[in-house]
Amino acid sequence: MDRNEEIITLLKMYNQHHIIKLLDKLNEKQKQNLLEQISNIDLHQVMELYDNTKKEIEIKENKIESIQYLDKEKLTKMEQDKFRELGEKVIVSAQYAVVTMAGGQGTRLGHTGPKGTFKLDVYGKGKYLFEILAENLKEANKKYNTIIPWYIMTSKENNDETQEFLEKNNYFGYEKKHVMLFKQGELPLIDENGKLLIGNNLKIKEASNGNGGVFASLRTSGMLSDMKERGIKWVFIGGVDNAILKMVDVILLGMAICKNVQIASKSVVKANAHEKVGVFCKMNGHPKVIEYSELPEKMAEEVDDNGELKFSESHIMCNLFTIEAIEKISKEPLIYHSAFKKNSYIDENCKEIIPDKPNSYKFEAFIFDSFELFDDIAILRGKREDDFAPVKNKEGVDSPKTAKELYEKYWERQK
């Protein structure tokens, strides 16, 4: 059996007859392109993900407990000095790298183009999100007399545009040889009947596999090896869309080293018991971020002896990992979550169908699902006004308007 026949057999096995029919209608070049793409897709995995969407969610007897954290505000002078000293040592000895995850689609913001190219209307002139991140890193470089390697995760879809934008803007003054772009993984979109969607370009429609894909992509793209060659020991991984994200927090780093853990995360306290955010907890003895929808109402409202919410620490995509932790996670299978979304496709007659309601599943892994692979992580409670100015929605909460206000107020206080 030749390679093409093997692929056709697989397509039959996984009930993808619509693709076989389509192949008959394509010219040789189109046919080879499509077959080549399919040969790189793990059909077994995709069908397993699809089957999971049909399964009832298993109600396990999960033991959910609150998790320990330290409040940055309440650290003693001695603790602060100790953490700072430990953290600074890593940074000045060039053992620290930063990863920015910029492979998202930013659908809620509705900006055309990669999210990092969005200009936040600050101080009249405005600053791009990538510019804000570059400025923050440059400031840390100056402070610690080093150059922190900056890895940027893009998607297949937005990689070229991101690269062009950064080139055009001269990497916002960051030394080009220390900025590395790498692409994240993708997974096919699949319809309600388990059929892979075909796009206008006569290829299987794929979408980014979520920010949890960062670990495997770091390894397969060679970035993890690059980090090792540079002698990196700790890696900060954050999003592109928090205008006051602290990518180089020596207290967070020092705390992780002092506690001898492989992961540290910054949290901010929940605005109220029912705020729709994921919160840290321990589930069956392992650290975890539990979605608001999965936290029983009674638990969400529970308070401790000091009258504070027991499940109060929300995850703000501000995480630190040892290089060993990244390596370990990158080799574990990811937990995928599915979202049912609207996606256009072409039918067997090559006619484009634009659905008016959700028609297909997108699979995404979340970065915080990696926490449960460890016995413990260190959590540092930051302050919303110092650490969290997200740009998520076009309007209302977590929008450019709220982020601009938070950004300007934050920098006003630093004067």
By CB under 6 A, name the binding residues for ligand UTP. Answer: 101-108, 115, 153, 184, 208, 210-211, 239-241, 317, 392
Of 274 and 394, nearer to ligand UTP (C-beta) is: 394
Of 42 and 81, nearer to ligand UTP (C-beta) is: 42
188-217 CB burial, b ≥16 within 10 A, e <16: bbbbeebbbbbeeebebbbbbbbbbbbbbb
Q: How near is the Cβ of 27 to ligand UTP at its closest, in Å?
A: 33
Rounded to 10 deg, the angle between the 17-25 and 28-39 helix axes is: 150
The whole-angstrom distance between residue 410's C-alpha and the CA centroid of its chain comes to: 25
Q: How near is the Cβ of 114 to ligand UTP at its closest, in Å?
A: 8
CA gap 72, 387 in Å, rounded: 12
CA gap 151, 231 in Å, rounded: 15
Helix, strand, coil fractions of the chain, as percent rounded to 5: 40, 20, 40
Query: Residues in the chain, how many?
Result: 415
Q: How near is the Cβ of 211 to ligand UTP at its closest, in Å?
A: 4
Of 87 and 210, nearer to ligand UTP (C-beta) is: 210
Q: How near is the Cβ of 236 to ligand UTP at its closest, in Å?
A: 13
Residue that is written with structure tokens 């670990």 in the block: 215
Query: Which of 155, 59, 34 shows the shortest CA–CA distance to 100?
Result: 155
Of 240 and 323, nearer to ligand UTP (C-beta) is: 240
Distance (Å) of CA 407 to CA 98, 115, 128, 179, 277? 21, 17, 13, 24, 21
The residue number with the shortest CB distance to ligand UTP is 104
CA dihedral 169, 171, 173, 176 (to 10 degrees): -140
Q: How near is the Cβ of 364 to ligand UTP at its closest, in Å?
A: 6
Amino acid identity, position 122: V
Of 106 and 400, nearer to ligand UTP (C-beta) is: 106
Q: How near is the Cβ of 317 to ligand UTP at its closest, in Å?
A: 6
Of 227 and 240, nearer to ligand UTP (C-beta) is: 240
Of 52 and 105, nearer to ligand UTP (C-beta) is: 105
Query: Which of 402, 400, 415 shows the shortest CA–CA distance to 126?
Result: 400
Of 210 and 382, nearer to ligand UTP (C-beta) is: 210
Distance (Å) of CA 401 to CA 110, 113, 120, 404, 406? 14, 19, 8, 5, 9
Q: How near is the Cβ of 368 to ligand UTP at its closest, in Å?
A: 11
Contact call for residues 72 and 382 (beta carbons, < 8 A): yes
Q: How near is the Cβ of 391 to ligand UTP at its closest, in Å?
A: 9
